[in-house]
Structure 1
Amino acid sequence: MKTLQHIPLTGELPSPKGVALAILEMCRNEDTTISEIAHIAQTDPALAGRLIRNANAASSGVRPIASVTDAIMRLGMGTVRNLAMGFSLIDQYHSGPCAGFDYERFWSYSLLVALAMQEFGRMTGAGAAEELFACGLLSQIGRLALATLYPQEYAGLLNETNARARLAELEHERLHTDHNELTAALLSDWGLPLALIEPIHYHEAPDKAPFTPGSRPHQLTHLFYLAKRIGDLGLSPESERNGHTAELLLLGGKIGLDADQLGARIDGIVTAWHEWGELLKVPASALPSFKQMCAGQAPRPEDGDSPASLRVLLVDDDATTRHMLEGVLGDSLGHTVQSAGSGEEALATALQFMPQVVVTDWLMPGMSGIELCRALRATDWGQTIYIIMLSGIDTRDEATEAFEAGADDFVAKPVDLRTLRARLRAAWRYVHLLDAWETDRAQLRQFAAELAISNRRLSHAAMTDQLTGLPNRRAGMSELEKAWSASGRAVQPMAVLVIDVDHFKRINDSYGHAVGDHVLREVAQTLQQSARREDVVCRLGGEEFLMVCANTDLRAALGAGERLRKLVAALAIKVGGHEIQLSISIGIAAREASMTDADMLVNAADRALYRAKEGGRNRSCICLQGQLRCGPWQAR
């Protein structure tokens, strides 16, 4: 990512002013105390009130606080700095020189993204909720910067057709930078940590981010994208909400939320949006509940109106009656009508036409309406047809016989138009519910198939470390118990190696998490390749690994550890113009008679690992009958 010095800019960038600027400068001094920050913050009553509100919102169920000092202690100086910057920029830029840039809408969107990040950060534990609130508030600050630096050019760019769909591309083409690049540069200049800046930089296209699936940067990038889509939903016109809600349901499923849970979270975020909007004088749109937005508006026939068009099969042996009803059903009520003069002809027509409704006369030569009804109900496809029986004899016995034969409704002749319209409305509701049911069944079948695949994947994922592809701690501990039991039954030796990458934090801090992840994968691959087929290698967590060696005594385990240590030391990972040299420390222990379970074996290897690290790292250390001994070892 570029810094401000490497981005071609002219003019003055947005920057915090007044108290916020003073807090920013003070936070750059490592000796600054909380009381000093509080003293400055108290000179701005609006900022002080917002900090206290955020601190109380961050700690539900905890005693509310009322002092700025307590708020800063609860939030942390880094979060206070970020919040002060965001609030300062909101106060300064409610309007500006760029005619095509909607400043009020920009801050409304940013506030909604901030609250979404706060909520989902709190839910997932991906980061401090209030720090993520501040980052969400500033996640699009590059757009405000471009509108401030290039008001006329940016207004023209925003007015172009589909500019929002390819905004970053147009920005790069016209202004030689884009809002994501400028956002990252500004946040870096203001002192935000790289671990938060990187996910913000890539969050509009998370699938293109260079992060390992399952890593914290990968998780944060997708959370920022989820928050962005909630921001899009909040400010979109009603006609576009269906597309947003459908995508949000998929994104919510990825973090373990079903439709009701996601809806409850989003409704809470929108409520907080309105509360914060009043506090910051930022507009917040009135939205229906998420459930209502997902439901949409299904077409419904209103009283006095005809229902939606149906496929109707009309069966009557009297040509005059048939012609009259065809006109009523087709011309007056708007249905698609096929007709038949007998029950036999109706069965043949039904196979081709597949009607949703059959309107049939009772008394016909050959196959009567009752026999036609029974014949239709005898087929699988005919069981779902809505059948209306017509009869010139309107008695209770006639109606009962029709219903027992499988008819859904009974209408007396001569047919009254209003009555027939009402009965077809009932038929429409039945067909509509049947279609919805079939859709639900299809979705359930699809969900069942997807669930079976997901369960297989989850079963594998539950036992696999996503970063390295090695078995995870859970799987490793399971294999350790199996090896311990087998060792006891066969009276064979076994050993374990606990391995730690030296100075791994320094690699992360110097080169970023993406490089740190690459280093872990390289070490994992080396471990896997050097292990025997019967050995089990797993990632315990962080930069620590475990190797379980069945039928292996301490001498053989030490030889394996030394061979592994030299292989890792020979690795050379190139980053830019730099080459990273690695080393590992190894703790080794073998099963002894005094050990009662596998945990004692791992604890012995752990103690040996700590001795190896205390002894200068890049060495192997063994634990033998409680005594620790470290290398260097003579080659054998």
Structure 2
Amino acid sequence: MPSNSGSPPDDIFACGLLARIGVLGLASVYPEAYSDIIATSSQDIAAREKETFGIDHNELSEAMMLDFCVPRALAEPTRYHEDPIQSGFEQQSRPHNIMTLLHLAYRLSEAAVREDGRITTKASVINAICTQLKLPEGRIDIIFNEALDDWRDWAETFQLSTDKVQNYKNLDFEPGEPSKPHNESVTPRVERLSAAIVSDAEVFDLLSGKLNQLGLQAVHCEKASAAIQLAMNRQANVFFISEKNTQFIDMLRGAKEFDANYIFFVLAKTDTALEAKAYLAGADDVITDDILVTHLKARLKPAMRMLNRYERWRNDQTELRRIAKELSLSHRQQQLLALTDQLTELPNRRAAMEALDQAWNGSIRAQTPCSLLILDIDHFKDINDHYGHNVGDEVLRAVAAILKKNVRREDTIARIGGEEFLLISPHMPMRDGLIAGERLRKQLEKARIDAGGKIICITMSIGMAIREETMRHGEDFMISADKALYAAKNAGRNRIALSTDGQIRMFKNDQ
């Protein structure tokens, strides 16, 4: 860690951990929209984020860090760690040094997260960043290798593969500027290219012979449809199109399958007007059919780099979509857990209050009746004290199952705390609510609950209310039902008490 970063190492480490939290935030809140952005944006994802959400992941990271009480002096440099040029920080200032340090970590981290262990940054760029940070020559090797050792320890804990990650001197940097000496006479890996030539027989013979010398077999296509078929089947990724087939470039670029392919436009002789037309149509490069083999070999290098980058980008998009889906699923699971009573698997109090608000508002809008019942197991404390809490839990689960089995599909039955349950019955008038409540009371009274080999018998007191015009909101509804429950308990338990028009009436049918 360079001493001139201006902040304690632990602070910088925390910034590194939080630097990409905005990506997780956007993917969690907008999983589907964010997946679409990843699928359709090859480079400037931040711009698409800004257009879609009004904020990009770097801005959101900064906002979240400030919300986490991270000092602005640390949060602001973190915002610009991907694109330092946008920061406007003064050279060698404290914010600039923090940002540059995070930028270096951001670029080198590719080696740990990519499956092939490669880094798409040129070695010269890494060296320039190290110079800005005034790192002594060779110091980056030590820092990277120490971090790599730590990463391998963590990776072992999380069962992640680190086989592809190399020590700094052995890193595979962006082609063209390696971090270690390479033999320039090494033949480029053209064997990974698959060529198709859209031309007449004469041009095909000229080019295919030269490609053969480079170990590259070419397929002859007389029609664009044949070339598109090759692209769809991923049987070719480099296409040579002769000047007699200029219109094919538009056709090919119009096909989605050609996003991941490289197009050479082949001229009989140099013609600047045709070159311009070809580039406008979507060609990646323009050559003449008499090109030397050595020159063709050199022109294939950019094709290889572009195709490799596209492949990396596509793999990254696939991985990001997978992560976004996992985050979306995790978010939905957390929402479900937050609304579920873990013991009985019924909706919990929070979910019950949301359901009550919906039923209340729906009843007012449609001017339909709504019944509310609070059900409380009688003498439940005695069960816990006498048999233990494990038996008490079994009783609660059994009661929940009985209640769930004996209510309507449109009803909500929830556990709202301890031995209390809440039944919300939309569109249910008073008489039907009393009948339903009495049916539940009898079902529970005759139940014989097997809890750990012990047969437990229970009764239940029920307080019922119906929505009345004098009630102002759902809380009044709950208060009315709670008063009725209190009255049922005081009247001897194992009965229904109805609260209506400010009066309490008792109901119990022992037949």
- TM superposition score normalised by structure 2: 0.49
Query: With CA pairs under 8 Å and 6+ residues apart, which has the higher RCO, 1 or 2?
Result: 2
